[in-house]
């Protein structure tokens, strides 16, 4: 399982990315793909928007397991819902979340269930693993 934050050693997503280094048009897609990779099993669909880009943020089009669609902004401030359909940035004033997990935990009950089920399966597997592993 991946770390849930960008930090100085691993460069995974953390809300204060600007303090670490400035991301640009070339590095934002890689950061967004890392975030998508971490949540892919717990959402119906997620992809980087091919229509919305800037040097300071990137947008992820996301469909939850409940089939609700969102446009998520990923920036140095974190992750936030900016639209209720793909490539839509019409919403303002939404909360910034430090991680994609925190955002999904707030907008998708089925995400919570899927993530919890996966965690339980991993814990049960570890509990049944022979000593010394």
Nearest one of 112, 114, 93, 96 to 104, comparing CA atoms: 112
Dump pLDDT digits (tens) for 4-13.
344 323 334 4
Q: Is the pLDDT of residue 68 over 80?
A: yes
pTM: 0.74
pLDDT tens sequence across 83-109: 999 999 999 888 999 999 999 999 999
Closest CA to 72 of 64, 83, 43: 83
96: DSSP letter: P
- Tell me the C-alpha distance between 13 and 117, whole Å: 24
pLDDT tens per residue, range 25-61 = 677 888 999 999 999 999 999 999 988 877 789 999 9
- The domains of the chain, with CATH numbers, are 17-128 (3.30.2280.10)
Looking at residue 29, its pLDDT comes to 87
């Amino acid at each position: 399982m991946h770390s849930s934050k960008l930090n100085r050693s691993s460069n995974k997503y953390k809300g204060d990315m600007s303090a670490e280094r400035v991301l640009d048009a070339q590095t934002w897609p890689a950061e967004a793909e890392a975030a998508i990779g971490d949540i892919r099993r717990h959402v119906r669909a997620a992809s980087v928007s091919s229509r919305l880009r800037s040097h300071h943020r990137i947008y992820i089009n996301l469909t939850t397991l409940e089939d609700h669609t969102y446009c998520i902004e990923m920036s140095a401030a974190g992750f936030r819902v900016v639209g209720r359909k793909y490539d839509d940035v019409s919403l303002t004033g939404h909360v910034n979340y430090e991680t994609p997990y925190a955002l999904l935990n707030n907008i998708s009950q089925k995400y919570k269930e899927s993530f919890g089920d996966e965690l339980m399966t991993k814990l049960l597997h570890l509990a049944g693993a022979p000593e010394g592993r």
